[in-house]
C-alpha cells in the first residue's frame, strides 16, 4: 500500500497519517485501528481501512467515498463501514447507484447514520463516540475512546492475596475506565467545544481552525460555519488536552506563515501544545 500522500503525526500513543487543507482535502487515518476521519478525494493510505467516520458531506471531506468503494471492490475486500450524519445516507447511496450504472458493477457498502452520543464499538478496547458540530450542513464530530479495566479505587491499598480473595467471593474488583484519546471535528463553529464534556478532556484535540488573523473576520468565519483563532485563544484555559492539533487551515497561509502567526499570537505557555497538522 502506498502512503505517498499525507504526513504522519503521533500523539496519544497513536500514529496518524493524513492531510488537511481548507476547501481542498481532509482525511486523517489511524492505520493501526483501521479507521479514518473523513476521506478527502480518496487516497492510497485509505484504501485498506475498515471504518470511516465522515464529518459531513462537503466534497473536500467526503468525495472519496465512491473511489474507496470501487478500489475495495477491485481488490475484493470485505465490506467497509462508513459512519455519517443521517441526512447524508440517502443522497450518498444515490451517488453510489449512479457510479454502479457508470461502472457496471454492484458495490457492497454500509452507510450508517450516526447521531450525537452514539457509541460505535471498534476492535478490542476502542470505541468511537459522536458529538455535535455546527456547520452549514449536517455535521458530526467523533471521539476515539479507549476503555481499560482497572482495579477499583477502594481496593488499591489491599494486597494481591486480599484482592483475589474478594474476587473469588464474586465481587467485581475492577472498574472500566474510558479515556477520550482523540476528538476530531471536521468543519465547525467554536460551539462544538462545550457541546459534550469529554471533548476538552481528549488527549488530542484535532480541530479545525480555518482562519488565523485579521484578513478574515470572526463574523465571516462563522458565516461559513468555520472557526477563527480569535475565538479559540480565550477558550484555551478550558481545554485540558495534551495536544491541540489544528487542521483545515485556509490555503491563504503557507505552513510557515501559519506557524509564525501562531507563534506571535498564542500565549507563550500554550505554544508547546498547539501544533499544525503536518500534512496539508
What is the four-CA torsion angle of 190, 193, 196, 199, rounded to 10 degrees? 150
Rounded to a whole number of angstroms, the minimum distance from the CB of residue 119 to Zn ion is: 25
What the block records as the C-alpha cell of 140 is: 458530526
Rounded to a whole number of angstroms, the minimum distance from the CB of residue 129 to Zn ion is: 21
Question: Closest Cα partner for 218 from 190, 179, 199, 245?
Answer: 190
Pairing type for strands 126-132 and 81-84 reads: unpaired
Judged by CB, which is closer to Zn ion: 23, or 173? 23
Judged by CB, which is closer to Zn ion: 145, or 184? 184
Integer Cα distance of 167 and 155 in angstroms: 11
Judged by CB, which is closer to Zn ion: 187, or 231? 187
Rounded to a whole number of angstroms, the minimum distance from the CB of residue 46 to Zn ion is: 17
Rounded to a whole number of angstroms, the minimum distance from the CB of residue 159 to Zn ion is: 55
Other C-beta atoms closer than 10 Å to the C-beta of 100 total: 16
Name the residue with cell 488527549.
203
Judged by CB, which is closer to Zn ion: 58, or 72? 58
| Contact footprint for Zn ion (CB under 5 A) | 58, 60, 187
Contact status, residue 90 vs residue 116, Cβ threshold 8 Å: no
Rounded to a whole number of angstroms, the minimum distance from the CB of residue 10 to Zn ion is: 24
Judged by CB, which is closer to Zn ion: 227, or 274? 227
Amino acid at each position: 500500500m502506498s502512503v505517498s500522500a499525507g504526513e504522519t503525526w503521533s500523539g496519544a500513543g497513536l500514529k496518524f497519517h493524513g492531510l488537511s487543507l481548507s476547501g481542498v482535502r481532509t482525511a486523517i487515518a489511524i492505520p493501526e485501528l483501521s479507521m479514518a476521519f473523513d476521506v478527502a478525494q480518496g487516497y492510497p493510505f485509505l484504501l485498506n481501512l475498515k471504518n470511516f467516520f465522515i464529518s459531513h458531506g462537503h466534497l473536500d471531506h467526503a468525495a472519496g467515498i465512491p473511489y474507496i468503494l470501487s478500489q475495495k471492490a477491485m481488490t475484493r475486500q470485505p465490506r467497509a463501514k462508513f459512519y455519517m450524519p443521517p441526512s447524508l445516507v440517502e443522497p450518498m447511496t444515490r451517488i453510489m447507484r449512479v457510479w454502479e450504472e457508470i461502472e457496471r458493477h454492484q458495490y457492497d457498502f454500509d452507510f450508517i447514520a450516526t447521531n450525537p452520543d452514539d457509541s460505535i464499538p471498534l476492535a478490542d478496547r476502542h470505541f468511537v463516540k459522536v458529538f455535535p458540530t455546527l456547520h452549514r450542513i449536517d455535521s458530526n464530530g467523533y471521539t476515539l475512546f479507549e476503555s481499560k479495566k482497572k482495579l477499583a479505587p477502594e481496593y488499591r491499598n489491599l494486597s494481591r492475596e486480599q484482592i483475589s480473595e474478594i474476587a473469588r467471593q464474586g465481587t467485581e474488583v475492577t472498574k472500566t475506565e474510558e479515556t477520550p484519546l482523540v476528538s476530531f471535528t471536521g468543519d465547525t463553529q467554536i460551539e462544538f467545544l462545550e457541546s459534550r464534556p469529554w471533548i476538552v478532556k481528549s488527549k488530542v484535540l484535532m480541530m479545525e481552525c480555518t482562519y488565523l488573523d485579521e484578513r478574515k473576520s470572526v463574523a465571516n468565519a462563522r458565516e461559513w460555519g468555520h472557526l477563527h483563532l480569535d475565538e479559540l485563544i480565550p477558550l484555551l484555559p478550558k481545554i485540558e488536552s495534551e495536544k491541540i492539533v489544528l487542521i483545515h487551515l485556509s490555503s491563504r497561509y503557507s505552513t510557515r506563515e501559519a506557524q509564525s502567526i501562531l507563534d506571535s499570537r498564542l500565549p507563550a505557555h500554550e505554544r508547546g501544545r498547539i501544533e499544525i497538522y503536518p500534512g496539508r
